[in-house]
Amino acid sequence: MKNNIEMRKWLDDFKLDHPLVIAGPCSAETEKQVLRIAHELKHSDASIFRAGIWKPRTRPGGFEGVGAIGLKWLQKAKAETGLLMAVEVANATHVKLAIDHDIDVLWIGARTTVNPFAVQEIADALQGTDKIVLVKNPVNPDLALWIGGVERLYNAGIKKLGVIHRGFSTYEKTKYRNIPEWQIAISLQSRFPDLPLICDPSHITGRRDMILEVSQQALDLNYDGLMIETHDDPDHAWSDAAQQVTPSALKMICQNLKIRRQTSDEDDFNMEMIKLRANIDVADSKLIEILGSRMKVSEQIGALKKAKNVAVLQNKRWNEILGKMILEGEQKGLSEEFILKIFKAIHQESISHQEKVMRS
């Protein structure tokens, strides 16, 4: 897939002086509920109304959406408010029904993105249409799978494309429902700068009190828009109650967001940035040098273990290192989450070096 400015044109056509906002309930529950929320959002920064019609659930028995009847409610909401309508689709049947009901934006959910067969089925069903199609990141942190989903749609002739970053599943306990792994979205953005990038802070956080914080992080990283789940009575929502905000709360979030410029033409800014980036480059070189030295010591340890027939993995020692580094990291203003991520990677690389020595 080539960088193609045409992919960005649909977003520019909105002519917004603020990031694109897609808002609406996690699930369409009743016609009255859909219309109430849509009318409240009509007077907000939202340009697109979203609502789940088909809700994939990990286990059976939960609310799986109202189905196709909800599309008629969205048609009515569009006619009354003028907002564009968006739904999640997971197969060709969903696509056909959405097109038949004049839905403007289709998004592919995280559980569907992981399945190339399903994405290809959706791409085939969309051929010849002029819909905006957004691809959520796969559940697990796999950049190639995310890009592959976009490529399948692009190859099917869909040019109004974008991606939604909704975070990634993890077994670790963190403050997020789905950890952001910002670097993955940034890598995608760097490779395809013309591909609109939208953040879904609702699914990243799982908590309405963190929506503003994560939304601001996304804008600081030059994201193009936000998808925020919005419900007129979120505490009694039929799905994902904890992560939905009210329309009035959405307005407050949008008012409190700081829109950053991409750069500045001021000379003092550019001169200071040159100096600071030079310092970063020096620090990065030192980091690589230190890591290289550390791995040489790991190889020496591996050689000693081999000579004495001692196992590579020493859990007690590893836990001692981790606990010590977390405490030292806190003193330097580094989060426990960051220290865990960095030192787990260092530990894995160290084990690899020791195992290589063991096999030699």
Question: Mind listing the domains of the chain with CATH numbers?
Answer: 6-256 (3.20.20.70), 267-359 (1.20.59.10)
In order, the DSSP letters of 105-123 are: EEEE-HHHHT-HHHHHHHH
- Beta strand pairing call for 161-165 and 225-229: unpaired
Phi-psi region of 333 (alpha: psi -120 to 50; beta: other; left: phi over 0): left
Quote the radius of gyration of the chain (alpha carbons, Å): 24
- Whole-number pLDDT of residue 96: 97
Distance CA 55, CA 65 (A): 5
- Whole-number pLDDT of residue 261: 78
**Residue 6 burial (10 A CB sphere; 0-12, 13-18, 19+):** exposed
Angle of the 247-256 helix axis to the 211-220 helix axis, nearest 10: 40
Distance CA 60, CA 90 (A): 17
What tokens appear for 150 in the block? 């976009």
- Beta strand pairing call for 105-108 and 132-136: parallel
- Whole-number pLDDT of residue 5: 62
- pTM for the model stands at 0.82
**Residue 100 burial (10 A CB sphere; 0-12, 13-18, 19+):** exposed
- Whole-number pLDDT of residue 6: 72
Consecutive 10-residue runs of the chain (360 residues): their mean pLDDT? 74 93 98 98 96 84 88 98 98 97 98 97 95 97 96 95 96 90 94 95 97 96 96 96 97 94 83 92 95 96 94 92 94 92 94 93
Q: How far is CA 152 from CA 43, 141, 162, 168, 356, in A?
A: 36, 19, 13, 21, 39
244 in Cβ contact with 208 (< 8 Å): yes
- Whole-number pLDDT of residue 300: 96
Which tens digit of pLDDT belongs to each residue from 63-93? 888 999 999 999 999 999 999 999 999 999 9
The contacts of residue 329 (CB under 8 Å, 6+ apart) are: 335, 336, 338, 339
Distance CA 165, CA 187 (A): 12
Q: Where are the alpha helices (DSSP H) in 110-170?
A: 110-113, 116-126, 143-155
